[in-house]
Amino acid sequence: METTEMPLPRAFRPILAGIIAAALPIGAALAQSPAPAASPTATPAPGASPTPAASPAPAASPTSQAASPTAPSPTASPTPSASPSPAPASPPPAAQAPATPPAKTADPFGEPVTLEARKVVTIKGNANWDAAFDTLMDAFKALTALLDKQGVKSAGNALIVYTSTDDTGFTFMAQIPVSQDVKNLGKNMSMGQSPDGKSLKFVHRGSYDNMDNTYEAITNHLDEKKLEAKDLFIEEYVTDPLKTAEDKLVINVYVPLK
């Protein structure tokens, strides 16, 4: 079946044309022993006659010499080797270096995934290149207002499915996953299924206007791998585009493969 060429959004129109149309391919101390005390009994000199009234000479008392503080025994002083060595101090737990934070992994680029179909509420629209982002945001606002009015919560990230493009603009489907049917649908709204099947996942960070760099890299990847893409591509808005600054957007781009 012949594939209709789909030019790309203005910022990346010449880049995505190849994807949609041609579809090319992060111790103890030692106790010092005191010097032994001298004998307390004095020995009289030989041959001397003992005299009852005689008192022993003061110098003969060895105990008074031992008690003299001015003549300490040389062995009374502890030697340096007798001093106990202090035990080495253990490093405190707080001295340990702080844990290194894990390195940031790179975003997936060309990661093979299988998309599963999900129930979505859809609004179809078209836009010109000059007002592309504003038009897409208006579509999301319309769907969000419908869900809020009926008290229905979204069941996933908002999607944009590009279905065709030309030199002046493009057609698209804005989709929000839900877990129940939505009633009282407005103009161009319907219940449906999101795209499914084998795809490649790429990640864009930054503004919508700078997506040309991402799509250029996608085109080069498909060409190098000699992969064939289908005639549509999908953007999943990981960050809420209605509440996130445009330069802080995170968008997963899915390229379905043939």
DSSP letter string over 14-33? HHHHIIIII-----PPPPPP
Determine the 3-state secondary structure of 76 from DSSP.
helix
Domain assignment present for residue 43? The answer is: no
- Between the two ends of the chain, the Cα-to-Cα distance in Å is 12
DSSP state of 243: T
What is the rounded CA–CA span in Å between residue 230 and residue 232? 6
Query: What distances in angstroms separate CA 244 from CA 50, 58, 92, 237, 249, one per listed residue?
Result: 121, 107, 46, 10, 7
Domain assignment present for residue 61? The answer is: no
Domain assignment present for residue 31? The answer is: no
Domain assignment present for residue 172? The answer is: yes
Reply yes or no on whether the pLDDT at 237 is more than 90: yes
> How much is the pLDDT for 129?
87
Domain assignment present for residue 176? The answer is: yes
pLDDT mean across residues, the chain: 76
Give the CATH number of the domain where residue 207 resides. 3.20.80.10
CA atoms within 13 A on the CB side of 30: 12
> How much is the pLDDT for 91?
54
Give residue 158's domain range. 10-23+108-256
Reply yes or no on whether the pLDDT at 143 is more than 50: yes
> How much is the pLDDT for 127?
95
Which residue in 253, 163, 258 sits closest to 217, CA to CA? 253
To the question of pTM greater than 0.95 for the whole model, the response is no
- Write out pLDDT tens, residues 158-181: 999 999 988 899 999 999 999 999
Asked if 115 and 233 count as a contact pair (C-beta separation under 8 A), the reply is: no
Reply yes or no on whether the pLDDT at 61 is more than 60: no
At 201, the pLDDT band (50, 70, 90 cuts) reads very high
Average pLDDT over residues 219-229: 94
At 92, the pLDDT band (50, 70, 90 cuts) reads low
Average pLDDT over residues 4-9: 45
Which residue in 117, 134, 116, 109 sits closest to 203, CA to CA? 109
> How much is the pLDDT for 67?
42
Domain assignment present for residue 99? The answer is: no
> How much is the pLDDT for 134?
95
**In this structure, what are the phi and psi dihedrals at residue 56, rounded to the nearest 5 degrees?**
-60, 145
What is the rounded CA–CA span in Å between residue 79 and residue 86? 16
Sign of CA dihedral 188, 193, 198, 204: positive
Strand ranges across the sheet with 119-128? 109-115, 197-205, 250-256, 233-237, 158-165, 169-177, 119-128, 189-193
Determine the 3-state secondary structure of 171 from DSSP.
strand
Q: CA-based angle 17:22:24, to the nearest 5?
A: 100
Reply yes or no on whether the pLDDT at 190 is more than 70: yes
Domain assignment present for residue 35? The answer is: no
Domain assignment present for residue 75? The answer is: no
Helix (H) or strand (E) holding 150: helix 132-150
> How much is the pLDDT for 95?
52
Reply yes or no on whether the pLDDT at 51 is more than 70: no
Share of the chain above pLDDT 90, in %: 52
How many domains does the chain contain in total?
1
The first and second tokens of residue 37, run together, are 């005390």
